[in-house]
Amino acid sequence: MPIPEAKRKLGVQRMKDQQPQSQGPLRRFMRGWGGALLWALVISAVLRAGVVQASWVPSGSMEPALLPGDHMLVNKLCYDLKLPFTGVVLLSTGDPQRGDVVVFRNPAGHGDDLVKRIIGLPGETVEMRGKAVYVNGRLLKEGWGRYAPRSHLGEHFGPFQVPRGSYFMMGDNRDNSYDSRFWNHGQGGFVPREDIVGRADVVLWSWKQFPVSLRLDRMAHLID
């Protein structure tokens, strides 16, 4: 009978159409753990570009606040919300303050980012008399700076006015820090706000090289 036979063939064809098509290796990879890994990488990249990033301390220029081998978490939202992977500021969330430990792009235009402490704010006049720092002619009562007992870094510096939108940076280890005192041939080097990556808030973990060991007391250590 022709009509039932046609219906049977139509039903068989529908069953074939409803059967899942064989998946290629790339499709199977993306639907499995590979897809999850890809999403994790994308989310990590977006977070690093606009929210937080991990940085490490290669030198002792910020001792004792930061030690060589410290791996710290940098808050990139504390001052500006920027469009990820760009320098476009979407929203200002706060202003850098004196005493903040910040990570910023190397003023030399190349090399790794640097980490220092903000000493001078936009428009202020910074001067050093011996080992004392003066801001706008007044002694800055700060407890961050450290000098060796026989330090020779006590020469006069400045006064220099911090340009608008820029900051004067110094390392806490004043004998071993290449900072605003020495940039621009000793005529005062400043960091524009747009070059500040973020504020260093916490040491995640720390690795001592000699002898090789993990500094357990530095884990989750707040930076002040």
Q: Catalytic pick from 82, 116, 166, 206?
A: 116
End-to-end CA distance of the chain: 90
Tokens of 34: 């590979």
Q: Output the pLDDT for position 1.
A: 45
Q: What is the pLDDT of residue 18?
A: 52
Q: Can you give the length of the chain in residues?
A: 224
Distance CA 221, CA 54 (A): 14
β-partners of residue 207 are 214
The confidence score (pLDDT) of residue 12 equals 47
Mind giving me the DSSP string for 14-56?
A: HHHHHSPPPPPHHHHHHHTHHHHHHHHHHHHHHHHHHTEEEEE
pLDDT tens across the length of the chain (224 residues): 455 555 455 454 555 455 455 556 666 655 666 556 655 555 555 555 557 788 899 999 999 999 999 999 999 999 988 887 777 888 889 999 999 999 999 998 888 999 999 999 999 999 998 889 999 999 999 889 998 876 655 568 889 999 999 999 999 999 899 999 999 887 789 999 999 999 999 999 999 877 788 999 999 999 98
pLDDT attached to residue 157: 86
Choosing from 55, 61, 166, 206, the catalytic residue is 61
Domain 27-222 class?
Answer: mainly beta
Residue closest to 184 by CA, chosen among 196, 168, 173, 199:
168
Residue 196 to residue 104: CA distance in whole angstroms: 4
* 116 belongs to the catalytic site: yes
Domain positions in the chain are 27-222
Q: Return the pLDDT at 89.
A: 84
Counting beta carbons within 10 angstroms of the beta carbon of residue 148, is it exposed (0 to 12), middle (13 to 18) or buried (19 or more)? exposed
Let me know: does 212 contact 206? Beta carbons within 8 Å. no
Q: Which of 129, 131, 195, 208 is nearest to 163 (CA)?
A: 195
Q: Give the Å distances, CA to CA, from 145 to 14, 35, 88, 158, 164.
A: 80, 49, 34, 18, 25
59 is catalytic: no
pTM tops 0.75: yes
